[in-house]
Chain A
Amino acid sequence: MIFVVILVTLFPGVFAQYDPYKMNMDAFMNRPTGSYWFGGDQFGRDVFSRSMYGIQKSVIIASSAIAISALIGTMLGLLSGYLSGLTDLIIMRIMDSFFAFPSLILALFIIALFGSSMTNLIFAIGLVYVPIFARTVRGATLSLRDSLYVKASKALGKKEISIMLRDILPNISSVLIVTFTTNVSTALLTEASLGFLGLGVPPPEPTLGGMVGQGTSYLLSAPWIVLFPGLMIAIIVLSLNILGDGLRDVLDPRINR
């Protein structure tokens, strides 16, 4: 299933039968048929084609956002866990204050201030998940900080940044991979929710959450406009959650019983 999602993300045009922006008069509010598999929306656009391009947008936004979170969060976590003391206190207090807000509210707040565009969306969602990476990497760094090979590197006079990046970081990569995968799915839900609220990528760009949000007014007369894009979100997130669980089982020896 993940493989299919990746294929759709890379080549949505291969799967989409129609132009996602084109209004087809014969598809206007049409039920799913052989020609329009997911039916037509309120502007006569093919819901299936829009869903394929929507999957691409959502996966790109979520992955890019989490990549940003991973980059910033990992650096903060390494600094916090390795240097400890005042650095650790300041960084973790700032991270704690981020945790005071539900991720959707925080992302919405950032979007409210800077406006909704694809770049701002990636930045807003990315910022929201930084504390998760910071905390996770900090914990992993703390457990490795006093290990023999790190002490040996210190004794050899290696610089602290070199120890963090070359000695500690490779040994926490499995934790990072699992955290990355599990949070891409949550980020995708956040992006979809923002799209539903009209704060995602502006129309006419097809996004899964946006399609559901715009289609809610027609829920009782044309439920397919809402139900199929929502189903796509659920399938992608489910696939990512299963992948994350599987990776955790394989890469985290502590829970392998």
Chain B
Amino acid sequence: MEFGYVFRRLLSAVPTVLLVTFMVFIAIHIVPGDVVDIMLGTQNYLTESQIEELYSEYGLDKPLIVQYGIWVKNLFTFNLGTSLRTGRPVTELIRERFPITLELAILSLSFALLFGIPMGIVSATKRNGFLDNFVRVIGLIGLSSPSFWVGAILIVLFSGAFQDFNLFGYVRPGVDLLSNLQVMFLPSLTMGLMVAAQILRITRTSMLDVLNQDYVRTAKAKGVSTRNVILKHSLRNALIPVVTLSGIQLGYLLGGTIVIENMFALPGMGRLLLQVVNERDYPVVQGIVLFIGILIVLLNIVVDIIYTLIDPRVELR
């Protein structure tokens, strides 16, 4: 592996990460009122000097740029502040909830690849036929449908057809794997179908490009069976952009689970985010949004690196 490229890629992400932290920091300070105002609310029984002490404790009496510097310094020690409502460290809250969101994202991506890739291959190999048109329509419907609507349809179908199916009530995999998978099945299927539509499209386009290449034409002329043309000669090259898209989708799934987590009452990061938004618990809102932003920047770097590993035609710069 070109470690120089990896290092340069990580270095190029530093300005983006810094900008992300700055955006999140400044956004909170644009809002009228501050952390102390929220804490005190309308029940203000404190004296002026006590309020000043509070401001000093939270560093709000310092210039904005100094506050930003202190905040970034704290980030290096994984200190994202504390919840206004519970007093618990934000990092602890994220550590509790993130594994559930991660599990949902990974399972959703697995479903997406399971459905999307075969459908994309079928669509490309039967181009302009009935199957191709049918699959493309399904893909277009999938791209157009809101996830909460698809989730609602699946809940109605499954509750009717499978009465004993456990739809709600999250259980950690370490406690009871079977119950965990039962509860995660519908939410991950819902999200998976949404992403499958995109995977389908990119697989189809990529497969069509590869099938038009000279080396595939040569393989067919040599009498290689259609099955081997697809599986041995075309698939690996066609899947390169799919791998890239999957990596990018994983990042967005991690942030995009908020709707599904709330629909299926999963105690993940998305559900926590909505809860703290409604409670105006800004340190937690700030912490989660920042965490997601930095995670996606890092994930995109990983995707870039994987791409250079699997596609030998890509020049490392």
Contacts and interface: CB of A to CB of B under 8 A. Distances in A.
B255 A113 contact: no
Nearest to B29: A113
Nearest to A230: B149
A197 B263 CA distance: 9
Contact of B273 (A108, A193, A198, A209): A108
Interface in A172-203: 185, 189, 192-193, 196-199
Contacts of B27: 109-110, 113
Given A97-B23, A105-B258, A108-B258, A114 B31 contact: yes
Contact of B144 (A102, A105, A193, A237): A237
B59 interface: no
Interface stretch (A10-18, A31-39, A144-152, A215-223): A215-223
Contacts of B199: none
Contacts of A198: 274, 278
A95 to B, nearest CB: 10
A38 to B, nearest CB: 14
Contacts, number: 128
A233 interface: yes
Contacts of B306: none
Contact of A101 (B28, B146, B289): B289
A212 B262 contact: no
Contact of A238 (B24, B140, B294): B140
A86 interface: no
Contact of A105 (B146, B156, B255): B255
A65 interface: no
Contact of A185 (B15, B16, B144): B144
Contact of A97 (B20, B30, B146, B289): B20
Nearest to B147: A193
A42 interface: no
B197 to A, nearest CB: 11
Nearest to B31: A113
B280 to A, nearest CB: 8
Given A97-B20, A112-B285, A189 B153 contact: no
B225 to A, nearest CB: 28
Question: In this complex, which of B256, B285, B293 has the most chain A Cβ atoms within 10 angstroms of its Cβ?
Answer: B293
Interface residues of B, number: 44
B297 interface: yes
Chain B, interface SS category: helix
Chain A at the B interface: SS class: helix
A149 to B, nearest CB: 33
A67 B315 CA distance: 39
A189 B31 CA distance: 26
A75 to B, nearest CB: 20
B145 interface: yes
B140 A102 contact: no
A142 B287 CA distance: 37
Nearest to B143: A241
Nearest to A186: B143
Interface in A92-147: 93-94, 96-98, 100-102, 104-105, 108-114
Contact of A234 (B20, B24, B146, B297): B146
Given A102-B252, A110-B27, A196-B263, 6 more contacts: A97-B293, A102-B256, A108-B258, A185-B144, A209-B148, A226-B149
Interface of B: 15-16, 19-20, 23-24, 27-28, 30-31, 140-141, 143-149, 152-153, 155-156, 159, 251-252, 255-256, 258-259, 262-263, 273-274, 277-278, 280, 285, 289, 292-294, 296-297
